[in-house]
Amino acid sequence: MAGALISSKGGKAYPGRLTQRVFFTCFVAAFGGLIFGYDLGISGGVTSMDPFLKKFFPEVYEKEHDMKPSDNQYCKFDSQTLTLFTSSLYLAALVASLVASVVTRAFGRRLTMLFGGLLFLFGAGLNFFASHVWMLIVGRLLLGFGIGCANQISVVVCLGSYYSYL
């Protein structure tokens, strides 16, 4: 039954080798999706941590701890600021992914990926040193712009390395 998955009819053989350049290109391109997934996983956990809520969203923290077990648990985080904190990254990534094609045509893929990576780095630094909610939101916007650029370009770079022998 194993032969059903492998064609014995022979097709065109490509002289593909896993060179350092192909490996590094795919490695860098994979980080486009990695940074988005990492942020998605981290932000959900952080917004439910008591120290984070106590420092940046005290009204949500108070409301969460004043709830009784019989209260509705559905929208216990009913805060426009917390919603802005969460959604700012995704909105910025959407805008950046639309603008990244124009920037790529003007400056090239490498500079656009570098710019996106720097935006992500500055956003992460701003979020790390944040002492106010507005710093968190600006940091999330920078993270979103970096993610949008990286996700737009990394797909093109990855596909380009796959199809270099066609």
pLDDT band at 30; cut points 50, 70, 90: confident
Q: Give the pLDDT of residue 24.
A: 80
More confident residue, 152 or 102: 102
Whether the CB-CB separation of 89 and 123 falls below 8 Å is answered with: no
What does pLDDT average to over the chain? 81
Q: Give the pLDDT of residue 21.
A: 78
Q: Per residue in 70-105, pLDDT tens?
A: 776 666 667 899 889 989 999 999 999 899 888 888
Q: Give the pLDDT of residue 154.
A: 67
Q: Which residues contact 41 (CB under 8 A, 6 or more apart)?
A: none
Q: What is the 3-state composition of the chain as percent helix, strand, coil, each rounded to the nearest 5? A: 75, 0, 25
Least confident interval from 5-19, 112-126, 133-147: 5-19
pTM attached to this predicted model: 0.74
Q: Give the pLDDT of residue 143.
A: 92
pLDDT band at 67; cut points 50, 70, 90: confident
Listed in sequence order, the DSSP H helices in 66-162 are: 80-107, 109-128, 133-162
Q: Give the pLDDT of residue 48.
A: 83
More confident residue, 25 or 149: 149
Is residue 50 scored above 60 in pLDDT? yes
Task: Kindly list the structural domains of the chain, giving each domain's residue range(s) and its CATH number in brackets, ordered by start.
Answer: 19-67+78-162 (1.20.1250.20)
